[in-house]
Structure 1
Amino acid sequence: MSIVLPPVDAPPATKARPDTVRLAADISIVVPCYNERANVRPMVAALSAALAGREWEVIFVDDNSPDGTIDEVRSLAECDGRVRGILRVGRRGLSSAVIEGVLSSSARVVAVMDGDMQHDESCLGRLIDAVVRDGYDIAVGSRHVEGGDNAGLANGWRKFLSDSGIRMVQMILPVRLGDPMSGFFAMRRDLFERAVPHLSGTGFKILLDVFLSAPQRPRVLEVPFVFRPRAAGESKLDVLVLIQFLAMLGDKVCRGFLPTRFIAFALVGLVGILVNLVVLDVARRCGADFASGQGIGTVAAMVANFWMNNSLTYRDCRLRGGRMWLGLLLFLAICSVGALADIGIARAVFSEDGKWNQAGAAGAAIAVVWNTPCRRR
């Protein structure tokens, strides 16, 4: 009798455990989240009930939430192989989170929904079937078709913003859609991937971005759903999100010739000029001489520009706490050459005609042009 020994460097044979084998997912649900720890387990439980009999996975894309959202995701993933988490450090934003989540998936169909339980997961089956069985490219959960409702919006102000945005978007949208502002949809992953190079990746309205960036007009079906009140946490909608939305629309209308960040730079520069002029006028009324007033106005404008760029232009990776104050000091130091040019040009113009506003505006404009490179990271 002969005994055949395995090679010395061969790994020991292991027996696969049946309970660890899982079929590849047919659908990936991408959930961008920030401070949604309390909603993670209820969402997975709701998805389990809504998608029973299907092969699915859920990908939570967390923007480094301080409440430990990713810890809750990892804890759940240890006992449920359908749960995955992506932790993003140093960048934020719903649209970019969705892009990373979708690109991490290999499923043929991807769905996107919010992490706050306001989207009705029981509608996911109809959204998926519209793409898989009925041949649609995108299926949208709609609050504005028969059977849908947006009652879950927090207040009248949010409803006004939503309705106004929808009316604005419908004028430029290449397809007829009742709820282009929806964040609840399913679509073919290959279509999303073809649109990715053209996406702005900013703001909260990734579906709108996809429609305006798709290489061909997609076939769309709207499925009604009732927008529920938030289960836990608080809304992320604020004025800066609205500004980002308008900048993204401007980017798409201009077909990328004026990128979103350029538009943001222009807006911030204009605000800096206004701040400079307002402070200069206040200094004049308080009896200061022109040079002192222009100097104070220039510093105030630089601080305002830094704050707006940090909050708006670079919202996806903005500085906080001590890093923000250090960034402000560095920004002031680097832009000091532009500040000196501002004051020098303004004094020269003032010596010619003696008009405060015209001289101040000329100096501020020079500073905006000079310091623009300083705002890039």
Structure 2
Amino acid sequence: MNAGLSRGPAGPACEAGATAADVSIVVPCYNERANVRPMVAALSQALAGREWEVIFVDDNSPDGTIDEVRALAEQDGRVRGVLRVGRRGLSSAVIEGVLSSSARIVAVMDGDMQHDESCLGQLIDAVARDGYDIAVGSRHVAGGDNAGLASGWRTFLSDSGIRIVQMILPVRLGDPMSGFFAMRRDLFERTVPRLSGTGFKILLDVFLSAPQRPRVLEVPFVFRPRAAGESKLDVLVLLQFAAMLGDKLCRGFLPIRFIGFGLVGLIGILVNLAVLEIGRRCGTDFATGQWLGTLVAMVTNFWMNNALTYRDRRLRGMRMWLGLGLFMVICAAGAVADVGIARAIFSSDGQWGLASMAGAAIAVVWNYAVSSTLIWRVR
């Protein structure tokens, strides 16, 4: 669905003779209604004397975040809102927000008030005045701090992710997992065709996808505790992070969704084997156990793909049940193809392993292509 745009007719940026914004602040948000007005007030103070706008990109938050943005946009023309329906994800939200801007410089920050807006001036000046391509708000250089992380577990995850990423980054960077940065819009636009657009680490995606090695400066900031709302970090975010790294290591040869679909398929095999073993211990004959295992594996695969692989296109209600039925039909057809191809290869060279792997590979490609097209309708 197309994004909905809202902008107020009045406010500082719309007064007679006002110039276009020099910088656009892109704020991806989900359930951040309580933080909208405090953020705009903080930006007004931090960016006094500059021509700026803030673009809130809302993933159709149930708490009415976009309504608060629109109400504020009626009073202040520097405020814009982009409503996304049927799409989810911080990285893709940032991409849409930046592409809706015409400012020479774009800055990105979270909508939870944990990023210190008083550092925006330094980030912007590093790009506009000092010639850097990207300026990063860093928690891991002298003067920076990540004390606002909610728990020791989150600190461990953040630090571990940084150490992993630093091994493959094309530039030296203390905080490649930061979500607080400013950069030249033209460089971002040239990088967009290479971006995975998956997960929550858009800056990392940019560094791994940029057509040239960017000149980068790190500016220290203190990561503040969340004032309102709740953290979006969960196991799905971690899996998306791993998938994005896999996509970059494969240089885009294998789509992220295909990687996720394949991993879910492996889990399905384990589920199938577990059900088969439970059936054996309960005295069930092999054929019955295999059918039960296959059925449970199909349902498990559909649920995991709906929740993980196609999270941004998740089916709900009656569409989910219809999708499950279609998924099982598709997988059954894939199984027939698997067996047919495996038999053909086996009759040719007599190698069980090669025949089995070839049949399974064809089945995975079939299931992925048809499911993406008919069930989750990926274009």
Distance 2:267 2:212 in 1: 38
Structure 1 pair 363–172 and aligned structure 2 pair: CA distance change class (3 A): closer
What is the identity, as a one-letter code, of the residue corresponding to 1:325?
W
Shift of 1:72: 0.6
CA contact (8 A) 2:89 2:199 kept: yes
Distance 2:198 2:82 in 1: 18
CA contact (8 A) 1:273 1:364 kept: no
Shift of 1:312: 1.4
The aligned counterpart of 1:252 is 248
Deviation string, structure 1 residues 105-124 (Cα, Å, up to 9, x no partner): 00000000000000000000
The aligned counterpart of 2:268 is 272
CA contact (8 A) 2:262 2:364 kept: no
Shift of 1:320: 2.9
The aligned counterpart of 1:371 is 367
User: Paired residue for 2:158, among 162, 173, 196?
Assistant: 162
* RMSD after superposition: 2.3
Distance 2:366 2:90 in 1: 33
Distance 1:304 1:175 in 2: 41
The aligned counterpart of 1:114 is 110
Distance 2:63 2:69 in 1: 12
The aligned counterpart of 2:126 is 130
Shift of 1:363: 9.7
Which runs of structure 2 are paired with 1:280-319 in the superposition (5 Å)?
280-319=276-315
TM-score normalised by L of structure 2: 0.86
Shift of 1:253: 1.4
The aligned counterpart of 2:189 is 193
Note if 1:145 corresponds to 2:147: no
User: Paired residue for 1:205, among 201, 206, 220?
Assistant: 201
Report percent identity of matched pairs.
84
TM-score normalised by L of structure 1: 0.87
Distance 2:222 2:250 in 1: 34
Distance 1:341 1:260 in 2: 24
Structure 1 pair 345–335 and aligned structure 2 pair: CA distance change class (3 A): same
Aligned length: 347
Tell me the SS of whatever aligns to 1:335. Answer: helix
Structure 1 unmatched runs, 5+: 1-17, 347-359
Distance 2:341 2:132 in 1: 60
Shift of 1:362: 11
> Rg bigger for which structure?
1
User: Paired residue for 1:177, among 173, 177, 192?
Assistant: 173
Which runs of structure 2 are paired with 1:24-63 in the superposition (5 Å)?
24-63=20-59
User: Paired residue for 2:233, among 215, 227, 237?
Assistant: 237
Which runs of structure 2 are paired with 1:326-337 in the superposition (5 Å)?
326-337=322-333
CA contact (8 A) 1:32 1:97 kept: yes
Distance 2:341 2:72 in 1: 62
Shift of 1:176: 0.6
Structure 1 pair 364–175 and aligned structure 2 pair: CA distance change class (3 A): closer
Distance 2:341 2:191 in 1: 47
What is the identity, as a one-letter code, of the residue corresponding to 1:85?
G
Structure 1 pair 363–279 and aligned structure 2 pair: CA distance change class (3 A): farther
Shift of 1:180: 0.2
Shift of 1:325: 3.0
CA contact (8 A) 2:138 2:144 kept: yes
Deviation string, structure 1 residues 286-309 (Cα, Å, up to 9, x no partner): 111111111111111111111111
Tell me the SS of whatever aligns to 2:72. Answer: helix
Shift of 1:340: 6.6
What is the identity, as a one-letter code, of the residue corresponding to 2:58?
D
CA contact (8 A) 2:258 2:368 kept: no
Structure 2 unmatched runs, 5+: 1-13, 343-355
